[in-house]
């Protein structure tokens, strides 16, 4: 692999969602040349199933950058196209697919990946969501040299970030994307100077952040309040945590474990035990605990604060969420 210093690199950027945008902007504003952008194919979205482009494609179009969208990176077309671009370095940020060996061997300075965790913890597709769901208080970003494994390459740099108690996956993702862009800039400078380190990952500390499935969002009210709280914020904004009320799916966007003693004696998990103070909806959880529902959404409606929700919906103490029926019989 090349190690000599160069004033300007030919960089091929690979990324797809909003998380990758600060990194692409960082590269565009650097002294290096962005020779092209590779992003995922447009996907159908919304009720009309209209094709929607990835966020990276939309931004790249505004800059007039060459864009490539491959259904697979293992095709002769994909490999040939990238070889013809002759990148010095490939930078990957939330692209969504593993690079095959043929592509990894193309750039003389290698392939660089930005990952939203402190590797080797939380390898995989959903590191931000899983960190919050698991109640972590510290996470971060990592730049690494790519290999054929899933986030198994040698570490270059890392930067820690604290996770606030009420922070959602969307909010944390925004913070990490900005922190990651800064780390990416530092990393590329080291690569150009031939000073980028290679630190082997500790396989004994490795953990895997599997993709989030929609059905994971179903709230199990028998769990402790803090676990429900972490689930709700870990799935905000996608795909969202939910329960059922009056036979309809009720999205729960924000919660807060109760720090006060509530009258939960005899109440079953998921039961509304109080609407006070300040018209808050308080639900019984496991171990006799309770939790405030702060922001809710019925199907086809907008998100509402608990106060707004109660103005339009007749819900009283004794109602049970998550059940086919709505109140104690």
pLDDT in tens, 64-82: 999 999 999 999 999 999 9
Give the pLDDT of residue 287.
87
Question: Is 273 in contact with 284 (CB distance < 8 Å)?
Answer: yes
At 300, is the pLDDT very low, low, confident or very high (cuts 50, 70, 90)? very high
Spatial CA neighbour of 89 closest among 179, 15, 188 = 188
Which residues, 6 or more positions from 71, have their beta carbon under 8 angstroms from its beta carbon?
41
Spatial CA neighbour of 65 closest among 57, 77, 73 = 57
Q: State the greatest distance between any 2 C-alpha atoms of the chain, in Å, as a whole number.
A: 76
Does residue 155 sit in helix, strand or coil?
A: strand
CA atoms within a 13 Å half-sphere pointing along the CA-CB vector of 128: 24
Count of residues making up the chain? 329
What's the whole-number average pLDDT of the chain?
A: 93
Distance in angstroms (rounded) separating the CA atoms of residues 76 and 95: 19
Instruction: Inform me whether the pLDDT recorded for 328 exceeds 70.
Output: no
Residue 230 backbone phi and psi in degrees, to 5: -65, -35
DSSP assignment of 27-61, as one string? HHTSSSEEEEEEEPPPEEETTTTEEE--HHHHHHH
pTM of the model: 0.94
pLDDT in tens, 195-224: 999 999 999 999 999 999 999 999 999 999
pLDDT in tens, 124-150: 999 999 999 999 999 999 999 999 999
What are the structural domains of the chain?
A: 10-209 (3.40.50.170), 214-312 (3.10.25.10)
């Amino acid at each position: 692999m090349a190690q000599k210093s160069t004033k300007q690199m030919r960089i091929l950027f690979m990324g797809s969602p909003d998380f990758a945008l600060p990194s692409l902007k960082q590269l565009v504003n650097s002294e290096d040349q962005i020779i092209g952008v590779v992003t995922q194919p447009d996907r159908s979205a919304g009720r009309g199933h209209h094709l929607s482009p990835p966020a990276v494609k939309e931004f790249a179009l505004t800059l007039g950058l060459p864009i490539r969208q491959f259904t697979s990176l293992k095709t002769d077309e994909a490999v040939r196209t990238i070889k013809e671009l002759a990148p010095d370095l490939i930078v990957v940020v939330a692209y969504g697919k593993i690079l095959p060996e043929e592509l990894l061997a193309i750039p003389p300075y290698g392939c660089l990946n930005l990952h939203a965790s402190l590797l080797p913890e939380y390898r995989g597709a959903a590191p931000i969501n899983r960190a919050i769901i698991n109640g972590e208080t510290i996470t971060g970003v990592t730049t690494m040299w790519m290999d054929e494994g899933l986030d198994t390459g040698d570490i270059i740099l890392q930067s820690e970030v604290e996770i606030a108690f009420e922070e959602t996956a969307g909010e944390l993702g925004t913070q990490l994307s900005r922190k990651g862009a800064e780390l990416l800039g530092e990393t590329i400078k080291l690569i150009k100077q031939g000073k980028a380190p290679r630190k082997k990952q500790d396989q004994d500390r490795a953990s895997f952040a599997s993709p989030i499935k929609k059905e994971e969002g179903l709230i199990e009210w028998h769990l402790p309040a803090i676990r429900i709280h972490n689930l709700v914020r870990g799935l905000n904004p996608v795909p969202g945590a939910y329960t059922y009320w009056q036979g309809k799916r009720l999205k729960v966007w924000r919660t807060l474990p109760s720090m006060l003693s509530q009258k939960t004696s005899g109440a079953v998990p998921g039961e509304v035990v109080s609407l006070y103070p300040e018209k808050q909806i308080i639900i019984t959880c496991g171990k006799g605990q309770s939790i405030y529902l702060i922001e809710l959404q019925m199907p086809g409606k907008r998100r509402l604060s608990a106060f707004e929700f109660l103005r339009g919906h007749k819900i009283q103490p004794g109602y049970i969420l998550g059940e086919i029926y709505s109140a104690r019989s």
